[in-house]
Structure 1
């Protein structure tokens, strides 16, 4: 299929794939064909329309990884409505905030799911937060489940009952119609709503097919949750390629390992934690012979050597880059890269239209290759439309010429790739230079007795200084002077931590793909420990 022949709406993409009876996905052991997925989504679209859902309305999809998640998503697209991807890890306060600010009219969830108490979390939402909600659609797999505590005015409908509707014949999908909202992590503020339209979701999916080498023999193990852009980008790429993927409602390393072998999975993108858990499922080398492309996103600082671990087991993994605003799988390193490059987040963009630059946040100067600054992206085939309901944040993030300010620290390289270093808010300005805390963290972690490390900035005697928080290996005691001497022998003086503190655990917040360390909280702790 040439670029000119490609569909530019989600409905057209699914309809094109449904012209054959090929398998779209495996929901655990159940094979779902493209015609099956099209029919289910069209029936859901008819039911949602009967409820009054129209173009631009928000339908909250609060489900684990199921065929039903994608059927709901494509049903919304068919109506020109917006599928609101709700993090399955949200608790009552977070869910209440999302439902209230989004104005979602319908919520689809699984009250009887045994891994998450969706019904209990929903029951904990204050009635005022449900003001716009008109209906809860309850998915089930034959188990008895209830939704207690809902206001009486909110209708409850069974998902299976909605499928009794005849398929909706019409299609109100449009390339420029907003179709998906993903929430940012919200570690310091309320999550922002990242709105994408159908054209860019489909275009990016085809860019990923080419950039990730997905071909007529490819199959995928879908590891990330569909409630985040990481999972959706993976699923849409496989649909764009017309190739199957296997998934399970919640991450289970043993089940994932069995699925990789059973389906001969060739591709997988996951967190470093998931890859480490997979490697523990067998003692073979190669660990998973069919896997030929494995990308990773770094979440666990204790797994800084995941590329080395995987290499030792015959599994080549490489760093990726993606964020909600320009979609996941935006860039990747290359299979033939040396280990040190494959460890980096970033790489080469999958879209030939994308451009990357780094800018000094203080002077506004566009920086030369190798100089760290704020990464900015021109991404016409993958950039968000806006932050839904937040024009001020949109104006701050998207420049007049269309470039997106990422808030990420990194640099470009002469060979065309870029390197992600850290979030700008986590970066340190030391000795007149922007410094990635990761450089200091990696050095601290090499000191005896240190399991992992997080470095933040604090003010001491009127000057910014790095402060290290460490978790210790079992049985080890912190020798602060030895750690400081270790770093001082290897890094510039201004990068040496002013203090090193041992903690049992780092403060975290739950993201759609895993836990993220709260650097803001660590900065507060550092400043307090240094005396305000």
Structure 2
């Protein structure tokens, strides 16, 4: 199938929504209701404000704020001014966010203070702009000229397959082509009412949510904090038809007693390495969804595979579907999933070494995930080459969490693994060895220096909630191999 681009850039697509969809609702955010005509105007005014602020083609600007209409207008206004979007995880503490803001070289940071009591403290030297202020409406309507589809549109930070967070660069063409196809495979239709619970700082929320909705003409209803009763109220009152999310979302919906309130739901999309088959069966039998697609993706390549309309229940429940058009998937000799095609990132920002380690000379992206392909080309993810685990849809990286734990004065060694959790899919469990002086007094959990609840509480003050270990077990020593590396398979055995 030959792809014929309708638009070259994201601003071109966004600024056309007024002509394409007129006065139909584009965004509903609490009492705020914006038509497509008005959204296009607000985006152009925001672009003017950014241009007057000094943001031009290729300038990076960070957004550290929850899902909202203002986030959308700010993000699309920024790219329409020629800027590059750098979304920041709202669950990050100030230190974590400062690292990304600083390394991205952002010219400014857009924030919304007061969210969940979070202090969005911007590092010194970076101008902070409140997205709830009058800034976004202060500019004259503007669209940058000369933007190309090959220009970088966003830098989304991920730890990728190893270590410290890295900025994944994607261009306009990649995103528009991939999420135009996503609309078809996910059965997103013009006039759909799309409740976006996935965070906008994540590819699933921003691209498979906001951008897909504007490509297709769906109404966006942003959700800043996932709360089951509030979501059910919105589904019922706003007649929601589209509701993608992590498996956690569907577990929550299955527990809703008054399922007739969910009657308008038609389509959903989910994905994870360990979706229980029973979950897919129950969703089909107990909820009104006509389609529930499953897929596989990563920040470095967007959506890689997705199930197809008409796939059997077994295929949807047990595989992540087939590769998207123009995307190749193969399994390396060691079982690693490799991806090649137009969707593969343009590289990690300012990190050619990590880029070369991740994309080989033949253009294959090494995902770090382990999988199999069946005869029909459907992918099944069977595990992770590295130790990453997924907590309620968020990637958690043991090395990063272990680094935080080692900052505690009583902790000498720490090793973190993911363990099964019925609601979140997986959660972290930390195995900790204390310094000798911290073990001198006997204590309930860890020998006096610190207890498990105290260490968990300490962690909550220093890292995003999904990274905080839910369990802590104290050991006299960690199991090490001959080269001194922690044998995490042994720890998994202990956890079981």
TM-score range, shorter chain: 0.7 to 0.9
Shift of residue 263, structure 1, vs aligned partner? 3.1
Instruction: Evaluate the alpha carbon distance shift between residue 42 and residue 189 of structure 1 in structure 2; reply closer, same or farther with a 3 A threshold.
Output: same
The equivalent of 2:307 in structure 1 is: 333
Give the distance between the partners of 2:464 and 2:37, measured in 1 at CA.
Answer: 29
Q: Distance in 2 between matches of 1:396 and 1:518?
A: 32
Cα separation, partners in 2 of 1:240 and 1:517, compared to 1, 3 Å: farther
Q: 1:315 to 1:334 in 2, by over 3 A?
A: farther
Aligned to 1:25, what secondary structure does the other structure show? Answer: strand
Aligned length, in residue pairs: 419
The answer to whether the Cα contact below 8 Å between 1:299 and 1:514 also exists between their aligned partners in 2 is no
Q: What is the correspondence of 1:425-436 to structure 2 with a 5 Å cutoff?
A: 425-426=386-387
Report if aligned partners of 2:62, 2:106 keep a CA contact under 8 Å in 1. yes
Q: 2:131 aligns with which of 123, 128, 139?
A: 139
Aligned counterpart in structure 2 of residue 390 of structure 1, from 321, 338, 351 = 351
- Please give the alpha-carbon distance, in whole angstroms, between the structure 1 residues aligned to 2:420 and 2:79: 47
Q: Map of 1:517-528 to 2, 5 A cutoff?
A: none
Which residue among 336, 339, 342 is the counterpart of 1:377?
339
Structure 2 match to 1:408: 369
TM-fit CA distance, 1:249: 2.0
How many angstroms does 1:402 deviate by? 2.4
1:107 counterpart residue number = 109
CA separation of 1:164/1:279 partners in 2, compared to 1, >3 Å: closer, same or farther?
A: same
Cα deviation, residue 344, structure 1: 3.7
Aligned runs of 1:258-297 on 2, under 5 Å? 258-284=233-259, 288-297=262-271
Q: Hey, what's the Cα distance between the residues in 1 that align with 2:163 and 2:306?
A: 29
**What's the CA shift for 1:334?**
4.2
Distance 1:202 1:34, change over 3 A: same
| Cα distance in 2 for residues equivalent to 1:46 and 1:469 | 49
Tell me, yes or no, if the aligned pair for 1:229 and 1:327 is still in contact at 8 Å: yes
> What pairs up with 1:474-513 in 2 under 5 angstroms?
none
Whether the 8 Å contact between 1:76 and 1:179 is mirrored in structure 2 is: no
Partner of 2:330: 357
What's the CA shift for 1:296? 1.7
Tell me the SS of whatever aligns to 1:383: coil
CA contact (8 A) 1:89 1:512 kept: yes
Q: SS where residue 378 of structure 1 aligns?
A: strand
Q: Secondary structure at the match of 1:419?
A: strand
Q: Report the 3-state secondary structure (helix = DSSP H, G, I; strand = E; otherwise coil) of the residue aligned with 1:240.
A: helix
Residue equivalent to 2:438: none
Give TM-score, length-normalised by structure 2.
0.74
Deviation of residue 47 (structure 1)? 1.9
Match of 1:197 in 2: 171
Distance 1:471 1:80, change over 3 A: closer
Match of 1:15 in 2: 15
| Structure 2: distance between partners of 1:471 and 1:218 | 33
Whether the aligned pair in 2 keeps the contact of 1:319 and 1:344 (CA below 8 Å) is no
SS in 1 for 2:366: strand
Quick one: distance in 1 between partners of 2:128 and 2:249?
Answer: 32
Match of 1:30 in 2: 32
The alpha-carbon deviation at position 271 of structure 1 amounts to 1.1
Deviations along 1:108-157, whole A, 9 cap, x unmatched? 011133x24134xx1xx6xxx534x2x210133xxxxxxxxxxxxxxxxx
Q: CA deviation at 1:253?
A: 1.9
RMSD over equivalenced CA pairs, Å? 3.7
CA-CA distance at 1:85 after TM superposition: 0.6
Contact 1:179 1:198 in 2 (8 A): yes
Matched residue SS, 1:343 = helix
On the 8 A contact 2:24/2:36 being kept in 1, the answer is yes
Distance 2:136 2:355 in 1: 37
Q: Which residue of structure 1 lines up, in the alignment, with residue 118 of structure 2? A: 117
Cα distance in 1, alignment partners of residues 364 and 487 from structure 2: 32
* Aligned equivalent of 1:80: 82
CA contact (8 A) 1:268 1:295 kept: yes
Instruction: Measure the CA separation in 2 of the matches of 1:192 and 1:512.
Output: 17
Deviation at 1:76, TM superposition (A): 2.1
Residue matched to 2:138:
164
1:306-332 per-position Cα deviation (integer Å, ceiling 9, x unaligned): 22442341355443211101114x322
Q: What does residue 50 of structure 1 align with? A: 52
Alignment partners' CA distance in 2, 1:472 and 1:354: 33
For structure 1, list consecutive stretches of 5 or more residues without a partner in the other structure.
141-158, 362-372, 428-436, 439-466, 474-502
